[in-house]
Structure 1
Amino acid sequence: MRQRILFFLALFTFLCTSVSAQTTVSGIVTGDGDPLIGVSVRANNSSSGAVTDLDGRYELSLPAGSDSLYFTYIGFAPRAEAVNNRSIIDIELSEASELLSEVVVIGYGVQKKDDLTGSVSVVSTEDLVDVPTQSLGQALQGKVSGLQIIPGSGTPGADAIFRIRGVGTLNNADPLFVVDGMILSDISFLNPRDVESVSVLKDASATAIYGARGANGVIIVTTKQGADAGAGRISVSAYTGTQEVVKTIDVANATEYATLINEADINEGRPARYANPEQYGEGTNWQDEIFQTAPIQNIQASFAAGNDVSSFNLSANYFKQEGIIKGSDFERFTARINTTRKVKSWLQLGTNIGLILGSSDNVNSGGILLNAYRADPITAPRDSLGNFGNTAIRGNTGNPLATIEFNNNKSQDYRAVGNAFASASLGEHFTFRTSFGLDFTYAKNRAFTPVFFVSASQQNEENNISVFNAYRRNWLWENTLTYNQSFGKHNVDGLVGVTSQDNFGEFISGGRQRLIGEDPSLFYLNAGDVTTATNSNGTFGGNWGLLSYLGRINYTYDSRYLLTVSGRVDGSSRFGDNNRYGFFPSVGLGWNVSQEEFWNASGAISRLKLRASWGQTGNDRIGDFGYTPLVSSGVNAVFGVDEILLPGATLQTHSNPDLKWETTTQTDFGIELGLLDNRLQLEADAYRKVTSGVLFNAPIPDYIGAGAAVRNIAEVLNRGLDLKLEWREVRGALSYSLGGNLSLVHNEVLKLDGEQNDFFAGGLGIGGQLGTNSRAGFAAGSFWGYEIDGVFQNQEEVDQFATLGTQRPGDLRFKDQNGDGVITPDEDRVVLGSAIPDAILGLNGSVAISGFDLTFDFTGQFGNEIINAKKMSRFGAYNYEVSFLDRWNGEGTSDTEPRVTLAGQNIETLSSRFVEDGSYIRLRNLTVGYTLPKAVTDRLRMQSFRLYLSGTNLWTSTDYSGYNPEIYNGSVFDNGIDRGDIYPIAKTITAGLDIQF
C-alpha cells in the first residue's frame, strides 16, 4: 500500500506542475519609512510570489495576463497595486490592527473579530503544523485559553480529548465539532495540514446557535480553500523522524526484588524464599524489552488554484507511525478536494470532501505495560532453548514479550466526510444557502490467536478468530437565509434556518475456534469449527435524529456598540414526547471603547473593548431511547414439574417519559486590550456556568424492580478565568512574538438527587473498591479515601491510635477524622484530590531573522492529582517500584512507607499514600528552520523552500512517578486513575521540508 501511495503522490506533484511566460517586477516595501522584511508579494491569476529581503526589496516573475500585485504583512493593512506596465513598483504599507480586520468563523457564518460579542479564540494553520502528529487535537494543545487538550494515549493514531471550560456534566463532556459546516462528534480523521483555521467557541453567546449540543463548547474547523491561489500553487511537505518513550518507571532490579519479597514473606509469617538475593544481580528490565525506538514519517502534496469565478484545493497525505511499544503501528492515507464555482452572477456551488483510509496493528498495550511493570526481574525474557520465560512462577504475571508475539489483531477504517452546498443571492441584502453533508464510516477488525503455551495462566489451547464489521452514516441537511444591510452608522445582519440530522449505525461480529491452520490466508470464519461459532449484531454509533430551528441578529452602531441575540429550538429523538423540544437563547453586548471620540488614540492603550454575554445551551449526549423501558433477553429459568429450562426476559431499566435536556446557563464578562500600538494584545474572560438537570444512568431503589434509569439528577458548577497575552513586533530584519494563555477553573457538584448522597465510581482493581465520589460540594469524580497520619512505629502506638482492621508496627496509620477512636468508611474517608486541574498553561514564541526561524511551545497543568492504582493492585509477588525500598523495617526507619507485604491494608486500601501530584510543565515543541533566499529559489523555479528540525515532548518537569501525568480513562468518574494500562506518550525528533512552486 505504501509504495502505491508514494507513487501516487509523486505523480500528483508532477501533473500539477505548470510553466508560464513571465516578466519581472521589483521594488521596495516600507512601513512608517522603514524597510519591511518578510512582506508577502503575490501576482493575481498566478502562482508567482515573493518575500521581501533585509532591505525590503522584492523581485517577482510576473506571467503575462497578471495585472496586479497583492502585498500582505502582519500588523499592516493589505494593499493591492495595479502593475500598469511598470517594472519597478515601490510600496508604502499602512499600520492596521490585525484584530480589527480579522474575520472569524462563527456558527453559520463569519464576523469581524472586532464585532464579536462572544468569547471566541482562533488558531491558524501556521500554528498547527509544527507538531509531528496526525491528530489535530494534539496539534492544538496549549494554544487556546480555556481549552484543555489531553493526549489520552500515545497509541499510534490515537486522538486527543477536548475539554472547554471544565467538566460541566457527569456523562459525555466532549465539545461539538463542525468541519466546513458538517456537524460531527469527532475530528480524528482530519489531517492538520489540510486545516486553514480553528475557531473555539466558549461562551453562550457564541455557542447557543448550536442549542442542544453547545453546552460543552464548539470547535469549528475550516479546511483550506483555493480562492486566493491565483493560477495555481503547488505545495509539497514531508518529514521523517524517530520516537522513544519519554520516561520509564523506576522499579526494583532482581537483587532488590528478591530482598523485598523475602521481607514480605517474613512479615506475613512465611519463610524467606530467596537464600541469596545478591546472586541475581540486575536481572531483566522488562520495560527495556517492550519499548523500542520507532520511526514516524509524513508526506503531503497539494494543488490550489482560483479566481473570481471558481477555485479548488486538492491535497493528498500519507502518514505512517510505528509504536514505541513493539507490535503496534498506524498508517493513514487522506485525500481532500474543496471546490467552489460561481455558475451565475447570483449562484455559487461548492463541495468539501475528505476521504480517509486508516489501518493499524493493535496490541493489548494495557496488558503488555502492566505485565512489564509487574513481572519479576529474575526471570529472563527467554530461556536457553529460546522459549519465553515463565514470569508466572514468581510474580503471577504474563510474559509481555509473549503477548506481543502471539498478537495478530488488525483494523481498517474507511471514512468519507463532506458536503455539497449552494449559495444564492436574493436581491441586494438576502442570501440563501442550502447544504447537505454526509459522514460515512466503515470499520473492520480481524483478530487471530494461535495455539501457544507459556505458563498455566498464559496459554491458548485452541486457536481462534474473531471478525467485526461495522458501518455508520450520519447526514445533515441545513437551510439558512441571511440578511445584511447598512444604513448610516447602523449595520444589521440576521440569520434564520432550519436543519435536520440523522445518525444510524450497525455492526455484525462473529468468531470460531479450531481453525484448520494458522497461515494468514486462513484467517476467515469458514476455516474454523462451525460448532464453535458465535455471532452478534446490533446498533453501532447510535440511532438518533434531530430537527432544529435557529435564528440570530447582529447589530452594530458606528462600530462602537454591539448586540447579538440568538436562539435555537431543538427536537431530539433521544427524549420522549413530554420534553422532546428545548429552546436555547443567548444575548451578547459589546462596547468598542476605543472607537469613541473621547479616546486618546496616541496613548499607551491603543484599543479597548468590553464584552458581556448570557445564554443557555444544552447537552443530549446520552444513550438512545433512554425514555423507554429496556428489556433484557437471554434470561433463562427452570419452571414446572419437569424442571424444563425456558428462555425468558426481564426488565433492565424503567421508562422515564419526563427525561429532558441538560441545560447549561453561562454568564461571561470579557475585556480586550491593545497596548503600545497594538503590539501587545490582552484578552481576559471571567465566566460562570451552571449545568442543571444533569443526565445520568443512576441507581434506583431495588424494590422498583430494575437496577438503574437515566434521570436528570444533578447540578454542576464551573467558574473560571481565561487569559491570553501576546506580543508581536518587527524590527528591521528581526521579527518575533511571545505569548501565553492561562485558564483557571473551579469545578463543583452543587446538587445531587435527594435519594443518593454519594456517587461512587472509579474501580481500583482490588475487591471492587471504588476510588471516586461525586458528592455535592466536591469536584466531579473527586478521589475519596483515607488520609495517612504516619506509620505505626511500635505496639504502643498501635494500642494508642485508631486502627482499620488488624494492624501491626510498620503498618500505615489512618487519620481518625472525627476523633471517635474508630476508623470507619462513612466517617473517616475524605477528599484526597481531583483529576481536574485548577490551572492550564500554554506558552509560545517565535523568532525569525535572515531566513532562520525558531518556534517553541510549552504546555502545563497544575492542581490536579493522580491515583497511582498500579501500586495498589497486587495479586501476587509482583515487582515493586523503587519507592518501596524506603520501607519501614524497624522502629524509626520510615514514617511514610510501610513495611513490605503482599496483601493487607497497606496496599489494598485507597489512601493518600497512592495519591500523587499530577502537575507538570512540558516543552511541547521546539522547531528550528531555514528558508532559502529568494535568489536561490528563483533559480530552482520554486516559490519557497524551507528545511527544519523539530522536537516534541523534549522535556517534562513533573513529580508524578508514572509514565505520563495526563491520565484519561473515558469517564468523569474514572479520570486520573493510573492502572498502568495507558500507552505512554513519545519523545519525537523529526527533520522535514516545505516547498512551494
Structure 2
Amino acid sequence: MQRSFTILFALLVSLGLSAQVTVDGIVTDGTEPLIGVSVQVPGTTSGTITDIDGRYELTVPEGGDTLSFSYIGFTTQAVAINGRTTVDIVLGEASEVLQEIVVVGYGIQQKDDLTGAVGVVESDQLTDIPTQSLGQSLQGKVSGLQIIPGSGAPGADAIFRIRGVGTLNNADPLFVVDGMILNDISFLNPQDVESVSVLKDASATAIYGARGANGVIIVTTKQGDGEGQLTINAYAGTQEVVRQIDVLNATEYATLVNEADVNVGRQPRFPNPEQYGEGTNWQDVIFQQAPIYNAQISFLGGGEESSFNLSANYYKQEGIIRGSGYDRFTARLNNTRQVKDWLTVAGNLNLGYNTSDNIPTGGVLLTAYRADPISVPRDSAGNFADASAIGNTGNPLATINYTNDRSQTYRAVGNTYADVTFLDGFRFRTNFGLDFVYDRNRNFSPVFRVGPSQQNLESDIRITNAYRRNWLWENTLNYNNTFGVHQVDGVVGITYQDNFGEFIEGARQRVIGDDPSFYYLDSADPTTATNASGIRGGDWGLVSYLGRLNYTYDSRYLLTVSGRVDGSSRFGQNYQYGFFPSVGLGWNVNREAFWNDGGPISRLKLRASWGQTGNDRIGDYRYVPRVASALGAVFGNEPVLLPGATLTSLANPDLRWEETTQTDVGVELGLFNNQFLFEADFYRKLTSDILFEAPIPDYIGANPAVRNVAEVLNRGVDLSASWRAGNDAFRYNLGAIASFVHNEVISLDGDTENFFGGALGVGGQLGTNSRVGSAAGSFYGYEAIGVFQNEEQLGQFAQLGNQGVGDIIFRDVNDDGVIDAAGDRVVLGSAIPDMILGINGSFAYSGLELSFDITGQFGSEVINAKQMARFGAYNYEDRWLDRFTGEGTSNTIPQATIGGQNFERLSSLYVEDGSYIRLRNVTLGYRFASDLTDRLRMQSLRVYVNGTNLVTSQEYSGYNPEIYNDNVFDNGIDGGTIYPIARTITAGIDITF
C-alpha cells in the first residue's frame, strides 16, 4: 500500500512539473543591460528581477502565458511567451509625462504614481508676464485655481481661490516655499521659481491638516545643477489703464442735474448746459502712462557634492494713477552641500526690500469717477481749483499732490535643513525655517485748502513701525524602497510653528515744515502727541503630528493613506486638537497585461480620493471673552473720572475646527503616445462647522462670540487638455483648462435664516446674504421690473416710500401690496463664477517664438455700487443718457435724481454681468542661432516683445469685473475704490553665458 502511494505521489509531481516551464532572457534599453527590472507572471506570485547583466530566469506556472516587465523611468511592457523558453526584450523610456516629478507635501512623486489632484506649472510658463506677482503669473494655468488680480496697484499681489469658497472666513490657500509654510508669497520673484504644485483634493492636502481646507500651493525655487551658468534678464515698457468708464461730459451732466433739480421741485442750476461743452474728464487727469522696469542677474551651478543658485532682482513700477509707485529689490541664495555620503545640508534664503508710494484710492479714483465735469483741475492762476462747489466731491488731483504716504518693507524668508540617510531606504530630515517682516509707514499731511470740504488746517505726521516673525521646526522620517513589484514610500513627522507680531504708532500735529527732513515726530508739537501699540500679524502657535504611506504594486495599483493631528492655540482646551485623514486610490490601466500598446490610447489612469481637512483662520484667542479697558465713568457726587472696563465680545470655549470633507474622482488620459493629454476631476467639497460671528440680539450688550454655525458645499468639475507636437524645425503646444463650480449654503445655525454683509456703499440695507440654498455672499436686494410711466401705474404697483412717476418699479415678491426689506428682497446673483477658462499656446520655428494666454470667467455678477448712495450732484454713467424723461421714453433707466429710492436701494438695476474673456498675454521672441552665440561666448541669446491685458471683452461697465474685498460677503461689490488693472507693453532680452 505504501509503495502504491509513493508511486502515485511521484507521478503527480512529475505531471505538475511537466505543466511548468522555465523562461530566461536579457532586458536592455537598446544598448545597455538594465539592472533590477521587475519580471512578473501576471495573476500569479511568480516573479524575479534582472541581475547586473540584465539577465533573468523565471519558472512560469501552468496557465501562465505572459510576462510583464516594469522598471522606473521605462514603459511597462507585457509580452506573450508563445511557447518560448528565451524571451529577450528592449524597454523603451517612459514618456516625459510619466517621468515628471511632482512636488507634494513632505516629498516628491512621479506624476504616474499620484492618487491626488495636483496641477503643476513649470518656470517657463511663469516668466512671460511682466509682473512682480507669482500669483498673477499663474492666472489661467491650472484648472480649479481662480486667480483674482485684487488690485492693479503697483506691487499688489493676487488673490488665490482653489475649488470655490468653502468658508465665511479667510479662504486663502496655504503656501509652502521650499519647505517653509507661509500665509502669502508676495515676496517671491517669479523668475526665481522652478515649479509650482497646486494641491486640490484631500488626498493631496490632508498632510497639511488644519490648514489644507482651502488647498495648498507648493513653490520650489531654482537650484543649481551642472556647469556654472550666468543669466541676465531685463525688460522695460509702459503701462496704461485698460479702459475708462464712460461718464457724461459737461453738457450732458448739466442737463441731467437740471432735470434732477426739477424733479425735486428746485430751480435748474444751469441755464445754458451747452456752454460747458465737453468739460473735464477727471479720469484723464488722474491716469497716466507709466513706465515699468525689471532686471535680474543669476548665477547657478553644481556638481556631485554641492550646488548653488545666487540671484538678484530689481523691479520698478510706477502707477497708472499719478502719485503711486513701487520699487523692489530681492536677492536669493540657495545652496546644497553633500558633507558625507550619508549627510546633506542645505539652505534657502530670500531677502527683500520694497517701497510703496500710496494714494487713498477711494479719495482719488472714486472722486474722479464722481466729480462733475464742469469743474477744472486748476484755476487761471495755476492753483488747485475747488471741485466741490457743484458735485461735492473735491479735487482728486489735489488729493494726489497733498498725499505723502510711503511704506517700506524688509523681509527675510529662509530655511535650512539636514538630511541623514541610514540603513536601506531611510532618510531623516530636520528643517528650521524663519519668516521675518519689518514694516515702516510714514504719512505726512501739509496745511492746505482747496475748498471748504477739502482742506487740512494743521499739518500732521503719523509713523508706524511693525514687525512679525514666524518660525517653523519640522522633523520627518522618510522610508522609500522597492521589493520586486512592491514600492513603498512613507513619511512620519512632528512639526512646531509659532507666529507673533506687534506694532507701535505715534502721531503729532503742527509740523514745523513741509520738507521731508521734518517728517519726524520730534518736528511736531509734543502737546498733540498720540500713540498706540498692539498685536499685528497674529499671535498663535501650532504643533502637528503627520504621517503618509504611498504603496505601488507593479506600477499599476496605487494607494495613498495620510493623516495629520493638529493642535492650535486658536482653540480652547475643549477642542484644541483635530485629526484630519485621507485615502487615495489609483489604477494605471495602461500597465495591465491586457492593454493594447498599439492603440491610440497610450495612457489611462483612474483615481479616487476621500479625506478631511481643516481651517483655523479665525483670529487669535476667540474662545475667550474680549474686554475693553480704556473706558471710564463718573460716579458719586464728585465729578471724578474713574477707570473702568466692559465686556465687548462673548466667549466660546467650545469652538471646534472648521472641517472640510472632500471626495474626488479623476481620470487621466493620453492619446497618440501622450501627444494629447486630458485630465478630468469631479469633486464634492462640504465644509461643516464653519466659524462665524453669527448675530445675536442687541439686548445682550456685547458682540457675539465666534461659533460653529454653517455648512457650505462646493461641487464641480476641473478639466485640462493639452496637445504637443512638432520636430526640431517647428514645434507647438496648445492647452486649455476649464473649471466649473457650484457653491451653496447647506445649513445655518439654529433659527438663523440669513447672514447679511456687504456694507460697501450699497445703500439702505446690507447688500449680500448667505442663506440656505444660495451661494455664500449672494447679492440680495430688490428686483427692478420697470419704471413708473404714469399716475395709473402708481395705482397698479406697490411703491417704496415716496416713489413717483419716473422711479423704479420694484417687484412685490410676497404680493402684499407693500415693498419692504423683510418680504420683497431676493437673490440677485453672486460674485462666484460658474466657470473659469484658460487657453494657452506656444509656437517655435527657426528661432521665432510666439506664445499667448487667454483667460476668462463666466456666470458671475458685479454690484456697481459706485453708482449708488448719491449724497451730492455726482456725475452719471452714460447709461443715464437713456433715462426716463417722459412716458414711453425708458422702462429700464429711471429719471435723474440726486438721491432717493432709485439710488439708495440695492436693486437689479445695479447688478451687472461679471463675465469676461481677456487676451492676457502675447509674447513674440527670437532666439539667435548657435553660430552667433558661440562667437559671442554665450549659451543662448533671446530678445522679445510682450503685451499684457491687450484686449478684454466684458459686459461690465466698470474698470474690471474681478472684484475682491477681503471678505466673502463683500466680493463682487465695486465701490469705486479698487485700483484698475493696466495694459502693458514691454521689450526684453535674455542672455545666458
Q: TM-score, normalised by structure 1?
A: 0.90
- For the aligned residue pairs, the C-alpha RMSD in angstroms reads 1.4
Q: What is the distance in 2 between the residues matched to 1:245 and 1:703?
A: 50
The residue identity in structure 2 corresponding to 1:980 is G
1:451 matched to 2:447? The reply is yes
Q: What is the distance in 1 between the residues matched to 2:643 and 2:881?
A: 57
**Aligned equivalent of 1:180:** 178
Q: What is the distance in 2 between the residues matched to 1:264 and 1:320?
A: 46
1:576 matched to 2:572? The reply is yes
* CA deviation profile, 1:425-455 (whole Å, cap 9, x unmatched): 0112110000000000000000100000001
**Aligned equivalent of 1:164:** 162
1:512 matched to 2:511? The reply is no
Q: Closer, same or farther in 2 for the Cα pair 1:532/1:93, shift >3 Å?
A: farther
**Aligned equivalent of 2:152:** 154
Cα shift at 1:766: 5.8
Cα shift at 1:754: 1.1
User: How do residues 533-544 of structure 1 correspond to structure 2 at under 5 angstroms?
Assistant: 533-544=529-540
Kept after mapping to 2: 8 A contact 1:340/1:349: yes
Cα shift at 1:493: 1.1
Cα shift at 1:702: 3.4
Q: What is the distance in 2 between the residues matched to 1:609 and 1:294?
A: 49
Q: Does the residue aligned with 2:767 lie in a helix, a strand or coil?
A: strand
**Aligned equivalent of 1:423:** 419
**Aligned equivalent of 1:336:** 332
Q: Does the residue aligned with 2:253 lie in a helix, a strand or coil?
A: helix
Q: What is the distance in 2 between the residues matched to 1:486 and 1:367?
A: 65
1:102 matched to 2:100? The reply is yes
Kept after mapping to 1: 8 A contact 2:789/2:888: yes
Cα shift at 1:94: 6.5
* CA deviation profile, 1:41-71 (whole Å, cap 9, x unmatched): xxxxxxxxxxxxxxxxxxxxxxxxxxxxxxx
Q: What is the distance in 1 between the residues matched to 2:595 and 2:302?
A: 42
**Aligned equivalent of 1:432:** 428
Which deviates the most, 640-649 or 521-530?
Answer: 640-649
Q: Does the residue aligned with 1:324 lie in a helix, a strand or coil?
A: coil
Kept after mapping to 2: 8 A contact 1:764/1:873: no
The residue identity in structure 2 corresponding to 1:248 is Q
Q: What is the distance in 2 between the residues matched to 1:473 and 1:870?
A: 39
Q: What is the distance in 1 between the residues matched to 2:156 and 2:857?
A: 21
Q: Does the residue aligned with 2:918 lie in a helix, a strand or coil?
A: strand
Cα shift at 1:645: 2.5
Larger Cα-atom Rg: 2
* CA deviation profile, 1:772-794 (whole Å, cap 9, x unmatched): 00011110000000111111110
1:937 matched to 2:933? The reply is yes
Q: What is the distance in 2 between the residues matched to 1:342 and 1:996?
A: 27
The residue identity in structure 1 corresponding to 2:988 is G
**Aligned equivalent of 1:887:** 883
**Aligned equivalent of 2:13:** none
Kept after mapping to 2: 8 A contact 1:619/1:663: yes
Kept after mapping to 2: 8 A contact 1:464/1:512: yes
**Aligned equivalent of 2:16:** none
**Aligned equivalent of 2:3:** none
Kept after mapping to 2: 8 A contact 1:118/1:204: yes
Q: Does the residue aligned with 1:634 lie in a helix, a strand or coil?
A: strand
**Aligned equivalent of 1:62:** none
**Aligned equivalent of 2:767:** 771
User: How do residues 726-741 of structure 1 correspond to structure 2 at under 5 angstroms?
Assistant: 726-741=722-737
**Aligned equivalent of 2:132:** 134
**Aligned equivalent of 1:144:** 142
Q: Does the residue aligned with 1:270 lie in a helix, a strand or coil?
A: coil
1:873 to 847, 850, 869: 869
User: How do residues 796-875 of structure 1 correspond to structure 2 at under 5 angstroms?
Assistant: 796-875=792-871
Q: What is the distance in 2 between the residues matched to 1:192 and 1:143?
A: 14
Q: What is the distance in 2 between the residues matched to 1:519 and 1:968?
A: 37
Kept after mapping to 1: 8 A contact 2:469/2:499: yes
Q: What is the distance in 1 between the residues matched to 2:869 and 2:794?
A: 26
1:600 matched to 2:585? The reply is no
Kept after mapping to 1: 8 A contact 2:632/2:642: yes
Kept after mapping to 2: 8 A contact 1:700/1:709: no
Write out the 4+ residue segments of structure 1 that deviate beyond 4 Å after TM superposition: 92-95
Kept after mapping to 1: 8 A contact 2:207/2:548: yes
* CA deviation profile, 1:835-888 (whole Å, cap 9, x unmatched): 000000000001001000000000000000000001112110111111111100
**Aligned equivalent of 2:22:** none
Unpaired stretches in structure 2, ≥5 consecutive residues: 1-28, 31-72, 76-89
**Aligned equivalent of 2:33:** none
Q: Does the residue aligned with 2:275 lie in a helix, a strand or coil?
A: helix
Cα shift at 1:730: 1.4
Q: TM-score, normalised by structure 2?
A: 0.91
1:986 matched to 2:982? The reply is yes
* CA deviation profile, 1:929-977 (whole Å, cap 9, x unmatched): 0000000000000000000000000000000000011100110000000
User: How do residues 716-731 of structure 1 correspond to structure 2 at under 5 angstroms?
Assistant: 716-731=712-727
* CA deviation profile, 1:768-816 (whole Å, cap 9, x unmatched): 5310000111100000001111111100011111111122111110111
Q: Does the residue aligned with 1:797 lie in a helix, a strand or coil?
A: helix
* CA deviation profile, 1:308-352 (whole Å, cap 9, x unmatched): 100000000000000000000000000000000011010000000
Q: What is the distance in 1 between the residues matched to 2:454 and 2:91?
A: 72
User: How do residues 401-550 of structure 1 correspond to structure 2 at under 5 angstroms?
Assistant: 401-550=397-546
Q: Closer, same or farther in 2 for the Cα pair 1:636/1:755, shift >3 Å?
A: farther
Q: Closer, same or farther in 2 for the Cα pair 1:251/1:890, shift >3 Å?
A: same
Kept after mapping to 2: 8 A contact 1:747/1:779: yes
The alignment of Structure 1 onto Structure 2 pairs a total of residues equal to 909
Kept after mapping to 1: 8 A contact 2:869/2:899: no
1:120 matched to 2:121? The reply is no
1:229 to 223, 226, 230: 226
1:678 matched to 2:658? The reply is no
User: How do residues 681-760 of structure 1 correspond to structure 2 at under 5 angstroms?
Assistant: 681-760=677-756
Unpaired stretches in structure 1, ≥5 consecutive residues: 1-30, 33-74, 78-91
Cα shift at 1:823: 1.5
Q: What is the distance in 2 between the residues matched to 1:661 and 1:647?
A: 37
Kept after mapping to 2: 8 A contact 1:153/1:984: yes
Q: What is the distance in 2 between the residues matched to 1:897 and 1:656?
A: 49
Q: Percent identity?
A: 69
1:900 to 893, 896, 902: 896
Q: What is the distance in 1 between the residues matched to 2:933 and 2:368?
A: 52
Cα shift at 1:665: 0.2
The residue identity in structure 2 corresponding to 1:984 is P
Q: What is the distance in 2 between the residues matched to 1:972 and 1:657?
A: 25
Q: What is the distance in 2 between the residues matched to 1:653 and 1:368?
A: 36
Q: What is the distance in 2 between the residues matched to 1:126 and 1:348?
A: 29
Kept after mapping to 1: 8 A contact 2:763/2:868: no
* CA deviation profile, 1:729-765 (whole Å, cap 9, x unmatched): 0145110011100000000111111142111110142
2:323 to 309, 313, 327: 327
Cα shift at 1:821: 2.1
Q: Closer, same or farther in 2 for the Cα pair 1:767/1:789, shift >3 Å?
A: closer
Q: Does the residue aligned with 1:698 lie in a helix, a strand or coil?
A: coil
Which deviates the most, 910-919 or 752-761?
Answer: 752-761
Kept after mapping to 2: 8 A contact 1:867/1:915: yes
Q: What is the distance in 2 between the residues matched to 1:977 and 1:76?
A: 53
1:380 to 350, 354, 376: 376
Q: What is the distance in 1 between the residues matched to 2:968 and 2:673?
A: 44
Q: What is the distance in 1 between the residues matched to 2:693 and 2:990?
A: 51
Kept after mapping to 2: 8 A contact 1:366/1:983: no
Cα shift at 1:95: 6.5
Q: What is the distance in 1 between the residues matched to 2:810 and 2:438?
A: 53
Q: What is the distance in 2 between the residues matched to 1:374 and 1:704?
A: 41
Q: Closer, same or farther in 2 for the Cα pair 1:888/1:664, shift >3 Å?
A: same
User: How do residues 183-332 of structure 1 correspond to structure 2 at under 5 angstroms?
Assistant: 183-226=181-224, 228-230=225-227, 232-332=228-328
The residue identity in structure 1 corresponding to 2:881 is L
Kept after mapping to 1: 8 A contact 2:762/2:906: no
Q: What is the distance in 2 between the residues matched to 1:680 and 1:123?
A: 17
Kept after mapping to 2: 8 A contact 1:76/1:98: no
Kept after mapping to 2: 8 A contact 1:728/1:736: yes
The residue identity in structure 2 corresponding to 1:378 is I
